Structure 1
Amino acid sequence: MTPKDEAVSAQLVLDTAARLIEQDGVETFTMRRLAQELGVAVTSIYWHVGGKDKLFDSLVDQLLSEMANLPVEGDTAVERIASLARSQRKALIERQHILRIAHERDRTPTLFLPIQQMLAMQLAELGITGGEAALVLRAVQVHVISSALLQFSAVRGPSMTRRTRRYGPTTGPIKRSSRHCNPRPTTTPFSNTDSVRCWPLTAHPGYRSWANSACSSSRRRSVWSRGSVGSSTRICSTPRWR
């Protein structure tokens, strides 16, 4: 092991791997590319973090820790809810490729649980509990995730493929059927109308798993719906989940 190999730590390996994955995507990531970036032998990477699967597991664990400790500011419960939503949206955008890894490892429910618990605590301070709290919590969560989805599409711009420009970033083939929805977003989620146009639930690696657990299958198509006033975005307090 060279002196440079000895200077490399497991945390440095994880941070560099996360940067490469978010920069170039999961598909292009290799252990050899990581070793070149660090200027060490590939064996040094295996020494510190194990193989590629172990590395990905460690990245997901690190992401879980980040999501469980999102910065929250504000003097009131409403301000803290808004701050938490902004922090979650920022994390989703910055870690979108690692979110995909988490989704492939069935870690998405665990990923969002700490955030949901923090939101529930703030809602309880406002006197919102039980079924009403569940509706508000789901509305906030899906609004944050859908907002991140739109940002994914915006930042990719002309480099996006034709399918991605139309349907949004995906983790696999999009299954379309008239029973679900026309995959075009409108400006307002959670309207209480029956005229529905929406993103497919496969549009985000974490969103599909979350939505599948949050919504009954017969009402999943109501996640995105038409009913906005002008171009503003709002959250309806009574989304049609069932």
Structure 2
Amino acid sequence: MAGAVRREPLNRGRVLATAVQLADAIGIEALSMRRLAQELGVVPMALYKHVANKDQLLDGMVDAVLAEIDPVGDGPWREVVRARVLSARAALLRHRWAARVIETRPVPTAAVLAYLDSMAGAFRSGGLSVQLTHHVMHAMGSRLLGFSQELFEASGAGAPAPEFAAAFPRLAELASGGHDEASVVGGGCDDRFEFEFALDLLLDGFARLHGAGWAPPAGG
């Protein structure tokens, strides 16, 4: 028909981008498949060709947000890690629902695992041992993603599946060799040890700042 408006084709990328924008606008609690379909101008059943269910939609939304994080840059490991964590924090501040969704997902998405794997790689490329990297990842927890929650609750004991090891080699390395055999932690992750490690790390940092005569920046 002459003058007819051509509708933009529906695809997974458009579904996820619209879902992210909608969650930003109305909140994650108000987001539903029906509401998303209305926003896209389609019937709800059309969405299921691109996302099987609400859980898959949420996983895809998390991955879309993580795609906004700056890639690993060049330079000293501390600067690389700090810049990337701050980029992650900026992404989660743009999408304030995202941290809560990440917290509630029963299994980390592939994008979350890939991000964590790249961060473990930054520590390892900087010369940190597997054991130290393991404990540093615990200590930082979800701060690696720009918010605060324990991301490493499951035990790291046991050899990971070959598919996992191929996709996320640095995380597999930590899972397989994160602790010395003679360590007080043994082959798994000891909650008290990891808590004390993070606590001591923070206290050591506070002591270093105090010894250096630290003062907040003007206006800070």
TM surpasses 0.5:
yes
Q: Which residue of 1 aligns with 2:21?
A: 19
Are the equivalent residues in 1 in contact too, given 2:17–2:64 (CA < 8 A)? no
Q: Which residue of 2 aligns with 1:235?
A: none
Q: Which residue of 1 aligns with 2:104?
A: 104
Q: Which residue of 2 aligns with 1:42?
A: 44
Distance in 1 between the 2:115 and 2:44 partners? 37
Q: Which runs of 5+ in 1 are unaligned?
A: 150-203, 233-242
**Quick one: percent identity of the two aligned structures?**
25
List aligned pairs for 1:145-224, cutoff 5 A: 148-149=146-147, 207-208=149-150, 210-213=151-154, 216-218=190-192
* 2:58 is the counterpart of 1:117: no
Once the two structures are TM-superposed, the CA of residue 129 in structure 1 deviates from its matched residue by: 1.0
CA radius of gyration, larger in: 2
Once the two structures are TM-superposed, the CA of residue 73 in structure 1 deviates from its matched residue by: 2.6
Q: SS of the counterpart of 1:7?
A: coil
Change in CA separation of 1:231 and 1:136 when aligned onto 2, cut-off 3 Å: farther
Equivalent position amino acid for 1:135 in 2: H
Distance in 1 between the 2:112 and 2:44 partners? 34
When the two chains are superposed, the root-mean-square deviation of aligned CA atoms in Å is 3.9
Distance in 2 between the 1:134 and 1:109 partners? 20
TM-score (norm 1): 0.52
Equivalent position amino acid for 1:52 in 2: K
Distance in 2 between the 1:104 and 1:86 partners? 22
Change in CA separation of 1:117 and 1:47 when aligned onto 2, cut-off 3 Å: closer
Change in CA separation of 1:231 and 1:25 when aligned onto 2, cut-off 3 Å: farther
What whole-Å deviation, never above 9, does each CA across 1:65-106 have from its counterpart, x for those lacking one?
x38x74233333333222222223233434453443344332
Q: SS of the counterpart of 1:93?
A: helix
Equivalent position amino acid for 1:28 in 2: A
Q: Which residue of 2 aligns with 1:195?
A: none
Distance in 1 between the 2:55 and 2:112 partners? 22
| Count of residue pairs the alignment pairs up | 171
